[in-house]
């Protein structure tokens, strides 16, 4: 008895080859019209399944990363920066630093592209096979404080601890009490020697003690973060958001 196309698709579904099952009619049509050999057909079939699995894994990891927006590293306009060269950006995209568990600390005033650079690197890392988590400092403290009582916080923190790269945005944006600083220290300690961290902040490490409060915890956090770290400091760059802001006026000035 000849097996129907629907039956073949069902068999692929049973074997957990869902992408092959969905694409099978098109593949068979191509094989017949282009006189593929059995070997070529199998190569095309398996290549499609693997390609779609990779694409779905990337989609899942992008969703889990929780980026605030989707902008690749190409959206970072290096020509408008004075503190980072194209060669340095290319080195960052190679992720040797991530394999060596180096951290990146990106400093500078609001609007210069710190979050854009961090997000672009995170997206590129996912496309290169790494697991990434993005979270703002405010969200992180809230999630740490509710980890023991909500499943959502537990899931989020598990993904963060399982990541190869953790991006913490707006570090030291708000002052912490001793309990919050202690929770943050334990997270940094968990990540130490297990993952790389990208931190963005408008305050340098020398000012972090004022916001963390406890000198001992501050020293312990800095020790782990700065042990292997590269610091990128946007010192004199103009605000990217001010350069590219939209206006409700057609002209730059309004006259009565």
Q: Is residue 16 part of a domain?
A: yes
Question: Is residue 51 domain-shared with residue 79, that is, in the same domain?
Answer: no
Q: Is residue 50 part of a domain?
A: yes
Q: What is the mean pLDDT of the chain?
A: 86
Q: Is residue 150 part of a domain?
A: yes
Question: Is residue 236 domain-shared with residue 132, that is, in the same domain?
Answer: yes
d(C-alpha 172, C-alpha 114), whole Å: 14
Q: Is residue 155 part of a domain?
A: yes
Question: Is residue 14 domain-shared with residue 106, that is, in the same domain?
Answer: no
pLDDT tens-digit series, residues 69-115: 999 998 887 777 777 888 999 999 999 999 999 999 999 888 888 99
Domain count across the chain: 2
Question: Is residue 121 domain-shared with residue 181, that is, in the same domain?
Answer: yes
Quick check: 130 and 165 in contact, CB under 8 A?
yes
Query: What three-state secondary structure class fits 229?
Result: strand
Secondary structure (DSSP) of 144-185: HHTTTT-HHHHHHHHHHHH-SEEEEESTTSS---HHHHHHHH
Boundaries of domain holding 107:
73-242
pLDDT tens-digit series, residues 155-188: 999 999 999 999 999 886 667 888 888 999 999 9
Q: Is residue 203 part of a domain?
A: yes
Of 49, 65, 81, which residue constitutes the final position of a domain?
Answer: 65
Q: Decide if pLDDT at 144 tops 90.
A: yes
- The CATH number of whichever domain residue 228 belongs to comes to 3.40.50.300
Question: Is residue 37 domain-shared with residue 121, that is, in the same domain?
Answer: no
Question: Is residue 26 domain-shared with residue 88, that is, in the same domain?
Answer: no
Question: Is residue 160 domain-shared with residue 183, that is, in the same domain?
Answer: yes
Q: Is residue 248 part of a domain?
A: no
- Whole-structure pTM value: 0.80
Question: How far is CA 29 from each of CA 17, 35, 149, rounded to the nearest angstrom?
Answer: 19, 10, 54
Question: Is residue 55 domain-shared with residue 77, that is, in the same domain?
Answer: no
Of 16, 48, 65, which residue constitutes the final position of a domain?
Answer: 65
Question: Is residue 52 domain-shared with residue 94, that is, in the same domain?
Answer: no
- At 2, is the pLDDT very low, low, confident or very high (cuts 50, 70, 90)? low
Q: Is residue 254 part of a domain?
A: no
Question: Is residue 228 domain-shared with residue 148, that is, in the same domain?
Answer: yes
Q: Is residue 252 part of a domain?
A: no
Of 24, 18, 23, 19, which is closest to residue 5 (Cα–Cα)? 24
Question: Is residue 104 domain-shared with residue 230, that is, in the same domain?
Answer: yes
């Amino acid at each position: 008895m000849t097996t129907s196309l629907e039956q073949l698709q069902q068999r692929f579904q049973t074997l957990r080859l869902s992408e092959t099952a969905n694409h099978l009619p098109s593949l068979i049509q191509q094989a017949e019209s282009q006189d593929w050999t059995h070997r070529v057909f199998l190569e095309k079939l398996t290549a499609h399944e693997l390609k779609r699995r990779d694409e779905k894994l990337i989609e899942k990891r992008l969703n889990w990363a929780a980026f605030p927006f989707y902008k690749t590293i190409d959206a970072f306009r290096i020509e408008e920066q004075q503190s980072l060269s194209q060669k340095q950006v290319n080195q960052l995209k190679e992720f040797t630093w991530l394999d060596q568990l180096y951290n990146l600390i990106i400093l500078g005033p609001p609007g210069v592209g710190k979050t854009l650079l961090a997000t672009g690197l995170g997206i590129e890392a996912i496309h290169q096979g790494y697991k990434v988590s993005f979270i703002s400092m405010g969200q992180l403290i809230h999630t740490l404080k509710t980890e023991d009582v909500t499943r959502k916080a537990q899931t989020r923190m598990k993904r963060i601890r399982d990541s190869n790269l953790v991006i913490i945005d707006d570090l030291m944006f708000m002052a912490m009490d001793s309990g919050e600083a202690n929770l943050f220290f334990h997270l940094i300690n968990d990540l130490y020697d297990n993952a790389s961290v990208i931190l963005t902040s408008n305050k340098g490490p020398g000012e972090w003690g004022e916001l963390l409060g406890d000198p001992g915890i501050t020293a312990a956090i800095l020790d782990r973060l700065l042990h292997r770290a590269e610091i990128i400091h946007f010192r004199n760059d103009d605000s990217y958001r001010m350069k590219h802001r939209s206006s409700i006026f057609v002209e730059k000035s309004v006259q009565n």
